[in-house]
Each structure stands twice: as structure tokens, then as C-alpha cells.
């Protein structure tokens, strides 16, 4: 008989956890959390965890959350969990996949191995992998599952535009742009980007006619917003009738959203992997399907 996993979450992610639990038919419990005056955490899990257990924790603003994962995973195993799955819609520390200067920590390798020491399986959405081909290489767990937000964003774009031009702000976005374009037969291309710092980027538009087209910029992550903003300004200068933005992960650090809108972006759409006012596509059904695939 198939034993379905028990789903755990924290109170700040109760709403998305409820959507996953409902879609997968799972029992759900909230991890109790207390913060001491000095910042240390005390967590309390359900006292009888038997069989497989899944934990939902999207790893935006990740530093404290990594400590939470350590405490939850080891406690769950001591309480009887036989298999642990991390559902991390956003997976942090994936961008630093090599040491660009001597002495730099390769955070992808370090954090990936840390997660693999705690969990038997990881489910995530559009991880930011560049020089690493598969999630298993970054997070060496027995089972690593990648869900993509590109089909959801493509369907959303199709509801708003009949024949848009999909454009990636840089070469790293090519995989998501191509996937979204293929789903509905949209034209697509990617820009060329040279980054000179966290907030300084130079963009060259692709060799494609944009005049008179509705352009939609697609990427896995929007963080500082500077790359998207520059691509937007150039597309409008090239004659695009409008520019919208569709991203899987709405990080939007500091003034990023304002920067994007001031550049002339009309609509900003995102999946709900990270809670944000731009959320327009629900990832819960896909995550529920991926979790149930681990327990056929």
C-alpha cells in the first residue's frame, strides 16, 4: 500500500503549503517556531512522524532558513521519519558555481552538499544552474526533481497576447525562453549581457525585428531589476509597442520593482514560488504532482 508523505511547513508559508496539501491529498502540520531574545530558534514538530515526510521551505532570504532546515531534518528523523523530501520552490546559493577569484567560496557546492546531508530528495522550480547541467550535480541527493515555471508563464502570456515576441535578458535565460516559446509557437531570442557589478549591466538586443511587436521578457529570477530595466528601455527604443515581464522567482530586492516599472514595463507576472504582489501563476499543482511521483 502506498504511504503518502506528511507535509510540514512554517507559519509564513502556510497558504502555499495548504494549496500543495489540497492538491496532493496530504496531511499538513505547521512547525512551531520561537525566537529567543538573542536570535536563536526553538522549533517543535509533531511528536509522531512515521514514514515519509516532506518540508516546504522556499529559500529566498536563505541564511536563517538553512538553520531551520538543519533543525527540522534532524528532529524529524529522530521522531521516526523514514524519508525526508525538501520542497524548495526557490533554491538559494545556486549562482556561485565556481571560484571566480582565488579564495571565493563555491556556495553552490557547499550548500548543495549540506542539503544532501539532510534530505533524501529535493524538489525545486527552475534552479539557477549555469555551468552545472543537472540538479543532481548541484545537490547530490538520491532523488532530485526540477519543475519548470515556463509552461505556466507561457500559458499566462498566451491569455494576454496573440503573437508576442519572447525575449530573454541574457544567455542564461535561453532555456526558459525557448521552453515558453515552444509551448505556443511564439517567436523568441535572447539578449547579450555584460555584467560590470551587481547593479551595472550592459545589454545588446538580439538581431530581431521588434518594431510593432509586444515584447515579453522572460527569466528565471528577477533580483536587482537592472538587467530587465535596461532590456526594456532598449526594446522600447527599437519600436516595441509594449514590454511585459514574466519570471519564475520574484525576488525583487530593494527598489527592483520600481526600477523595472520606471523603465516602461507594463505588466510584471511571476509564479508564486516566492510570495509577491506580482504572483499570477500557481505552482502548487506541479509541486504536488512531483511529490506524489516520489511515492507512487
pLDDT tens string 247-281 = 999 999 889 999 999 999 999 999 999 999 999 99
pTM for the predicted model, two decimal places: 0.94
| % of the chain at pLDDT higher than 90 | 83
Tell me the per-residue pLDDT of 286-296, one tens digit each, with 9 for 90 and over: 999 999 999 87
Q: Please indicate, yes or no, whether residues 44 and 161 belong to a single structural domain of this protein.
A: no
User: Cβ(202)–Cβ(196) under 8 Å?
Assistant: yes
Mean predicted confidence (pLDDT) in 83-111: 94
The CA distances from residue 121 to 79, 146, 243, 264, in Å, are 18, 11, 38, 41
Q: Are 8 and 53 in contact (CB under 8 A)?
A: yes
Together in a domain, 130 and 14: yes
pLDDT at 211: 96
105 part of a folded domain? yes
Domains contained in the chain, number: 2
**Number of residues that this document lists for the chain:** 296
Is residue 122 classed as helix, strand or coil in its secondary structure?
A: strand
* Active-site residue, 193 included: yes
Domain CATH for 98:
3.40.50.2020
Residue 193 pLDDT > 80:
no
**Do 288 and 142 fall into the same domain?**
yes
Asked if residue 234 and residue 129 are part of one domain, the reply reads: no
pLDDT value for 73: 98
**% pLDDT > 70, the chain:** 97
Question: Which position has the higher pLDDT, 198 or 240?
Answer: 240
Q: Which pLDDT value is given to residue 198?
A: 54
C-alpha cell recorded at residue 278: 506580482
The residue annotated as part of the active site, out of 42, 50, 193, 199, is 193
My answer on whether 168 and 200 are in the same domain is yes
Cell of 43: 522549533
Q: Identify whether residues 189 and 55 lie together within a single domain.
A: no
pLDDT at 78 over 90: yes
Evaluate whether residue 1 is within a structural domain. no
The grid coordinates of residue 208 equal 530581431
The yes-or-no verdict on residue 1 having pLDDT over 60 is: no
Mean pLDDT of the chain: 94
In a domain, 90, yes or no: yes
Task: Identify any residues that bridge with 216 across adjacent strands, giving them in sequence order.
Answer: 166, 244
Does some domain include residue 68? yes
Whether residue 108 is found in the same domain as residue 160: no
pLDDT at position 3, please? 73
Choice between 222 and 67, residue whose per-residue pLDDT is larger:
67
Are 114 and 171 contained in the same domain? no
So what's the pLDDT on residue 202? 80
**What is the per-residue pLDDT across 31-60, written as a single tens digit (0 to 9) for each?**
999 999 999 999 999 988 889 999 999 999
Same domain for 144 and 170?
no
Any idea of the CA torsion for 225, 230, 232, 235, to the nearest 10 degrees?
-160
Residues 163 and 265 in one domain: yes
Same domain, 13 and 141: yes
pLDDT tens readout for residues 117-171: 999 999 999 999 888 889 999 999 999 999 999 999 999 999 999 999 999 988 8
Q: Can you give the pLDDT at residue 131?
A: 85
Can you tell me the distance from the alpha carbon of 132 to that of 7, in angstroms, rounded to the nearest whole number? Answer: 30
Report yes or no on 277 lying in a domain.
no
Domain that residue 168 falls in: 150-272
Residue 194: exposure state from Cβ atoms within 10 A (0-12, 13-18, ≥19): exposed
Amino acid at each position: 500500500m502506498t504511504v503518502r508523505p506528511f507535509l510540514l511547513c512554517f507559519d509564513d508559508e502556510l497558504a502555499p503549503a495548504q494549496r500543495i496539501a489540497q492538491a496532493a491529498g496530504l496531511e499538513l502540520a505547521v512547525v512551531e517556531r520561537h525566537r529567543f531574545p538573542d536570535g536563536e530558534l526553538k522549533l517543535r514538530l509533531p511528536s509522531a512522524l512515521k514514514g515519509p515526510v516532506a518540508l516546504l521551505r522556499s529559500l529566498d532570504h536563505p541564511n536563517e532558513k538553512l538553520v531551520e532546515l538543519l533543525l527540522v531534518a534532524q528532529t524529524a528523523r529522530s521522531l521516526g521519519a523514514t524519508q525526508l523530501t525538501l520542497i524548495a520552490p526557490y533554491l538559494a546559493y545556486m549562482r556561485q558555481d565556481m571560484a571566480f577569484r582565488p579564495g571565493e567560496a563555491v556556495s553552490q557546492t557547499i550548500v548543495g552538499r549540506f542539503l544532501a546531508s539532510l534530505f533524501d530528495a529535493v524538489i525545486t522550480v527552475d534552479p539557477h544552474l549555469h555551468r552545472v547541467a543537472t540538479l543532481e550535480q548541484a545537490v547530490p541527493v538520491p532523488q532530485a526533481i526540477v519543475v519548470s515555471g515556463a509552461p505556466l508563464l507561457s500559458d499566462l502570456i498566451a491569455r494576454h497576447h496573440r503573437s508576442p515576441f519572447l525575449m530573454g535578458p541574457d544567455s542564461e535565460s535561453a532555456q526558459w525562453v525557448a521552453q515558453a516559446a515552444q509551448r505556443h509557437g511564439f517567436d523568441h531570442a535572447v539578449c547579450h549581457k555584460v555584467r560590470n557589478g551587481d547593479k551595472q549591466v550592459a545589454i545588446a538586443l538580439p538581431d530581431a525585428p521588434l518594431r510593432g511587436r509586444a515584447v515579453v521578457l522572460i527569466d528565471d529570477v528577477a533580483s536587482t531589476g537592472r538587467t530587465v530595466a535596461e532590456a526594456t528601455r532598449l526594446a522600447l527604443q527599437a519600436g516595441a509597442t509594449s514590454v511585459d515581464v514574466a519570471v519564475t522567482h520574484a525576488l525583487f530586492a530593494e527598489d527592483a520593482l520600481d526600477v523595472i516599472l520606471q523603465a516602461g514595463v507594463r505588466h510584471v507576472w511571476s509564479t508564486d514560488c516566492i510570495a509577491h504582489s506580482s504572483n499570477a501563476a500557481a505552482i502548487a499543482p506541479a509541486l504536488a504532482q512531483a511529490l506524489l511521483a516520489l511515492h507512487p
